[in-house]
Amino acid sequence: MLKIAHRGAKAYEPENTLQAFQKALDLNSDGIELDVHLSADEDIIVIHDETIDRTTNGKGLVNDFTLAELKSFLIDGKFQIPTLNEVFDLVDKKCLINIELKGLGTPSKVVTLIEEYISEKNWNYNHFIISSFDWNMLQETSNLNPNIPIGVLTEENLDTPLAFAEKIKAKAIHPDFNLLNEENVHQIQEKGFLVLPWTVNSEKDIQKVKSYNVNGIISDNPDKI
């Protein structure tokens, strides 16, 4: 049962910050989940929304700013927005990294960065899983490098994502946990996919999905899993 820290250990530190990912490591998480967009100069930026409005003291679209400009905005008055390679360097192979592709243009940039860490820094494909609600981006990722593990995100049903997962030979299905029961978890696993539900936070919900024998849980408080 993998304990995966959603946007870092979001219950304890500001989401998608190096501090949140360090907290996830301190809590012995098996993995972290994070979200990515591109800056105007095409660096991979770790942030959930397409704007910086909710999480920083700035305003505007992530991809209207250069990396240097994005670094000048603060999260909670003290933290900077991290790049994906800063997160890779912090994690340093200590746990799985689930990269959720959010922004346009992210698939080719993320694939290139993963390939760089594998060829130059002794990482391997099992250190990563790429997920997205945008299945075109997952298809693009698979076309670019079919060895990169893929998790198909879904919040509406399980049949269509399962068919797509079979088509692109995905590793996992990442469903909204409310879609699951013991029977369908078993059915998905019988087809050869891991089941990694999100975002399971309360003790009651964690116990419920654990009883379905899922392969892992994405949670703001991974220490409760």
Nearest of 116, 146, 119, 152 to residue 134 by alpha carbon? 152
Integer Rg of the chain from CA: 17
Binding mask 48-87 for Ca ion (x = CB under 5 A): ----------------------------------------
Cα separation, 151 vs 141, in Å, equals 11
Beta-strand runs (E) in the chain: 2-6, 31-38, 44-46, 96-101, 128-132, 150-154, 172-175, 194-195, 216-219
Cα separation, 180 vs 208, in Å, equals 10
**Would you call 186 a catalytic residue per the annotation?**
no
Q: Is 13 in the site for ligand G3P (CB under 6 A)?
A: no
Q: Contacting ligand G3P (CB under 6 A), which of 24, 44, 209, 218? A: 218
Of residues 95-134, which lie at the interface with Ca ion (CB under 5 A)?
A: 100
Q: Contacting ligand G3P (CB under 6 A), which of 29, 39, 63, 131? A: 131
Q: How many residues bind Ca ion (CB under 5 A)?
A: 2
Length of the chain: 225
Cα separation, 179 vs 181, in Å, equals 7
Query: Among residues 33 and 43, whose Cβ is nearest to ligand G3P?
Result: 33
Tell me the catalytic residues.
6, 48
List residues near Ca ion by CB under 5 A: 35, 100
> Which residues are near ligand G3P by CB under 6 A?
6, 33, 35, 48, 100, 131, 153, 174, 198-199, 218
